[in-house]
């Protein structure tokens, strides 16, 4: 059968199917544009700071017209919120998935640390924004990001407490809070010294040293 005859024999999509296909295609383009804008905004905020960056800077980086950017987003604070929300959501989802089937507390803490630092290495601009600029949010934006941050931190804290318990150690509430804060301090300021050209090949060693820092603090009690 000739190619044209085969094409002619295929059923044509109904009008409803055609409308749905166009809608899906439009939604995919919308999502792709949002993603491009958020990535561009993260780079601009990381380079200039949230306060000094402008929507024009972000539009230029995303290669989208200045007026059109407002079709997707309301203002600069919404951009900061979406960057922060997406980062915490991705971190939390990755962490929960990584430890879901791992009963050993040592292994769980290693997986949590590795996942956080791997995300950091792959998303340096977003992590700079998360660490330095998230406090610039206000109102419901600030409340939601604070809740996401608390939930993510609590996952690490519970794992640290589980590790202490597995080693026959006892951590009071303040001790587990301090150790968790020290761990995030080490991980979140990673971008200030990390140089991909020098340190990427050492990433496994870096992750292991962070784990040993907390592990030793628990074992020495």
- pLDDT for res 208: 95
Q: Tell me the per-residue pLDDT of 11-57, one tens digit each, with 9 for 90 and over.
A: 555 555 444 344 435 455 556 788 899 999 999 999 999 999 999 99
**pLDDT interval class at 181 (50, 70, 90):** very high
Tokens of 119: 């995300």
Report, as an integer, the average pLDDT of 138-167. 96
124-133 and 173-188 helices cross at what angle (nearest 10)?
Answer: 130
- pLDDT for res 33: 84
Between the alpha carbon of residue 135 and those of residues 37, 59, 145, 167, the distances in Å are: 21, 23, 9, 37
**Are 126 and 87 within 8 A, CB to CB?**
yes
- pLDDT for res 15: 56
Query: pTM of the predicted model, to two decimals?
Result: 0.82
Q: Is the pLDDT of residue 2 over 70?
A: no
Report, as an integer, the average pLDDT of 195-201. 91
Give me the domains of the chain, ranges plus CATH numbers: 13-73 (1.10.10.60), 75-221 (1.10.357.10)
User: What value does the mean pLDDT of the chain take?
Assistant: 87
Q: Tell me the per-residue pLDDT of 66-114, one tens digit each, with 9 for 90 and over.
A: 888 888 888 999 999 999 999 999 999 999 999 999 999 999 999 999 9
């Amino acid at each position: 059968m000739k190619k044209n005859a085969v094409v002619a024999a295929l059923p044509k999509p109904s009008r409803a199917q055609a409308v749905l296909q166009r809608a899906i295609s439009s939604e995919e383009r919308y999502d792709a544009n949002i993603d491009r804008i958020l990535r561009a905004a993260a780079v601009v905020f990381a380079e200039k700071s949230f306060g000094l960056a402008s929507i024009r800077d972000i539009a230029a980086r995303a290669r989208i017209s200045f007026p059109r950017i407002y079709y997707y987003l309301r203002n600069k604070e919404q951009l900061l919120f979406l960057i922060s929300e997406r980062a915490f959501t991705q971190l939390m989802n990755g962490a929960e998935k990584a430890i879901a089937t791992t009963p050993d507390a040592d292994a769980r803490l290693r997986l949590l640390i590795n996942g956080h630092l791997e995300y950091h290495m792959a998303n340096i601009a977003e992590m700079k924004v998360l660490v330095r600029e998230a406090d610039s949010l206000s109102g419901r934006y600030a409340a939601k990001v604070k809740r996401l941050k608390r939930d993510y931190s609590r996952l690490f804290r519970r794992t640290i407490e589980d590790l202490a318990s597995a080693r026959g150690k006892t951590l009071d509430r303040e001790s587990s809070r301090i150790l968790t804060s020290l761990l995030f301090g080490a991980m979140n300021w990673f971008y200030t010294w990390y140089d991909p050209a020098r340190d990427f090949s050492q990433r496994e060693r870096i992750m292991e040293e962070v784990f040993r820092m907390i592990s030793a603090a628990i074992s020495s009690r």
